[in-house]
Amino acid sequence: MPQFRKKPVDIEARCVPTYPQPRGRETSVVAYVNECVALAEWCGGRSHMMNDADSGIEDHILIPTLEGDMRALPGDYVIKGVKGEFYPCKPDVFAATYERVEPSPAATDDEMTTRVFAALHRSAEQDVSRVITLYERWAKAGPPPLGTSVSRWWDIRLAELHAAILPPGTQAEETPMGQQEQSAPVDWRAIAKQRERELKAVGEQKHAVEQERDGAYRERAHLVALLAAMTDGAVITYATDVDEPGWQIVYLTIGDRQASWHVSPRDADLFQHVERVEHDDPRAQWDGHTTEEKYTAIAAHTAELMQRCGPACSEMHTGTGRCETASNP
């Protein structure tokens, strides 16, 4: 019996943080929320943390996967696959499957671009935070005291604003005599336009990525709809594991193995021909297969069909029976 070994593939993964203990430590909670938001932004998902204990909803990161939105609970890992797809993984499965590797010293162009945009985003947030802090200090201090030179008072305020807007490390260094070098006039309009260009570029990149992702999902939906039309017993039902309304799951049997896909509301029109059943129908019960197991089974069945029939077979079928070409050589 032939045996195979899974190819070693490096993946990127992050662990969903757990709520800090003991509860009530403000600094720990803020760091926890920020880490969850950063993880959600990384995988293109949404952070649903700090849920009310009485709501019955567990804290989770909602991840858009090739099978639709899935939840990653605290302690779970979010994995970025070799094709850029994201999916959750339980910690015990992750520990048994993966081991930590040192990152390559040479980052790819995509990684470098991502880091640059992330750095710009953090820089903009830091600028805004420093200006807000300065404004609050001004509001608390109130107007200049009587007898103070208004022009001098404004010069000090402008110098403080200049120091708040410029990123740390760009301030003029002291000269050997302890005097500050004369700084050039600040072009506030140029700074604002530069920030606007940076934010616009980030928005355009995000929009392009979303369009590319939606196009890939639409292509996949077309192929699954075709496969459902060629498969006996295909059924579709509403997805109870997705919070957003309109999501469905289509169930097929391919080579005596179950295969299922989540169907987005925008792709529902492609599945009008599939029999619709209630979510408790025996034919619409997930058997526990993973995405990797599903496509491994499909690849094995495809190879089996080619071995039975060969490329000359003109019949379109996905059943397990032999076609006329194969049964009458």
Per residue in 177-189, pLDDT (tens digit) is 444 444 556 566 6
Instruction: Give the separation between CA 281 and CA 80, rounded to whole angstroms.
Output: 33
Task: Tell whether the model's pLDDT for residue 11 goes beyond 90.
Answer: no
Per residue in 127-152, pLDDT (tens digit) is 777 777 877 787 777 776 666 666 67
pTM recorded for the entire structure: 0.39
Looking up tokens 């090739």 gives 66
What percent of the chain is predicted at pLDDT more than 70? 69
Mean of the pLDDT values across residues 64-86?
Answer: 89
- Give the three-state DSSP class for 235: strand
Per residue in 255-313, pLDDT (tens digit) is 889 999 999 898 999 999 999 999 899 999 999 999 899 999 999 888 888 877 665 56
For residues 85 and 12, is the Cβ–Cβ distance under 8 A? no
Per residue in 81-113, pLDDT (tens digit) is 888 899 999 999 888 888 887 766 555 556 666
| The pLDDT of residue 258 | 93
- Give the three-state DSSP class for 156: helix
**Counting every residue, how long is the chain?**
329
Task: Tell whether the model's pLDDT for residue 34 goes beyond 60.
Answer: yes
For residues 61 and 39, is the Cβ–Cβ distance under 8 A? yes
Peptide linkage before 22 cis (omega within 30 of 0):
yes
